[in-house]
């Protein structure tokens, strides 16, 4: 992403409804993994560190990030002692170490070679470890937002599951999120694409008024109650948990 996008992320990630709601959904899924005490956790592509505090509750936290400015902001949160340089698929940090949990939150779509990236992550997971991924969903939602954030693709749930299966993972949970607001987001994206073209258009992550932000946060984060019970049929994003199949990498 552009440095300006990271600056925007840092200003929004602790209060904007989308970031707050996504954290609550991810937290609900992580709580169902029954990670052991002292689990070793790696966040790949931690950005400006908005998820570090949440992840730190689950074990000993490590992190990696490609952008120097974002990494400096994340380090300033004083959650973990080191945030290493990280670039998938060939530069995963903490070489020679394995982890109980590796997470990529809206990272895989930024990587041109997603297959090689998952193969590299497979090698860094302990045999009983977990991988948790979130990605943007549905190619027909492609817009200027994806261009500004340097996305290579958006995924369907089936595409992401198939990719993980090919690279030696067994799915634990797979589903969509941002379900309730999907019609609104889709309508806005289509309108902007008609007005400005699919590769243009104004920013769609601006901070809404406080009352609206609270309402959207409540509505979006309510989807966390579906975790482990059933999978939502569609949404703006996908979330998957998976375990490595031993000997498959």
- Sign of the CA dihedral running 156, 20, 224, 130: positive
Q: Locate tokens 């409804």: which residue?
A: 17
CATH number at residue 138: 3.40.50.150
* pLDDT mean values, one per 10 residues, the chain (249 residues): 64 91 97 94 96 96 94 92 93 94 98 97 96 97 89 97 97 95 89 71 76 95 88 95 84
Pair of tokens at residue 135? 């990605």
Q: Phi, psi (5° rounding) for residue 145? A: -60, -45
In total, how many domains does the chain have? Answer: 1
Q: What is the DSSP letter of 91?
A: B
pTM of the model: 0.92
Q: Does residue 201 lie in a domain region?
A: yes
Q: Which residues of 55-66 are buried (b: 16+ CB within 10 A; e: fewer)?
A: bbebbebbbbbb
Q: Does residue 45 lie in a domain region?
A: yes
Q: Does residue 136 lie in a domain region?
A: yes
> Whose CA is closest to 65, among 15, 16, 14, 9?
9
> Whose CA is closest to 77, among 171, 10, 21?
10
In terms of C-beta density within 10 A (0-12 exposed, 13-18 middle, 19 or more buried), how is residue 3 classed? exposed
Res 49: pLDDT = 95
Q: Does residue 249 lie in a domain region?
A: no
Res 192: pLDDT = 77
Rounded distance, CA 47 to CA 196, Å? Answer: 28
Residue 154 sits in which domain range?
Answer: 3-244
Type and span of the H or E element at 204 = none
Res 1: pLDDT = 58
Q: Does residue 38 lie in a domain region?
A: yes
């Amino acid at each position: 992403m552009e440095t300006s996008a990271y600056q925007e992320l840092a200003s929004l990630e602790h209060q904007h409804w989308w970031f707050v709601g996504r954290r609550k959904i991810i937290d609900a899924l992580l709580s169902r993994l029954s990670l052991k005490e002292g689990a070793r956790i790696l966040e790949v592509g931690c950005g400006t560190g908005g998820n570090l505090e949440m992840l730190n509750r689950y074990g000993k936290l490590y992190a990696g990030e490609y952008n120097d400015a974002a990494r400096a902001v994340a380090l300033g949160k004083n959650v973990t002692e080191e945030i290493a340089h990280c670039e998938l698929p060939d530069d995963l940090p903490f070489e020679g170490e394995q982890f109980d949990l590796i997470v990529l939150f809206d990272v895989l779509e930024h990587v041109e070679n997603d297959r090689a990236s998952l193969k590299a992550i497979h090698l860094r997971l302990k045999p009983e470890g977990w991988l948790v991924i979130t990605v943007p969903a549905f190619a027909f939602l492609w817009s200027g937002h994806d261009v500004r954030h340097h996305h290579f693709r958006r995924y369907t749930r089936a595409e992401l599951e198939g990719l993980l299966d090919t690279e030696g993972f067994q799915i634990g949970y797979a589903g969509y999120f941002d379900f309730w607001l999907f019609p609104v987001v889709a309508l806005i994206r289509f309108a902007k694409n008609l007005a400005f073209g699919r590769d243009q258009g104004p920013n769609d992550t601006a901070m809404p008024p406080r009352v609206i932000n609270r309402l959207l946060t409540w509505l979006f984060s309510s989807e966390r109650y579906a975790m482990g019970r059933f999978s939502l049929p569609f949404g703006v994003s996908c979330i998957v948990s998976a375990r490595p199949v031993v000997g498959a990498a």
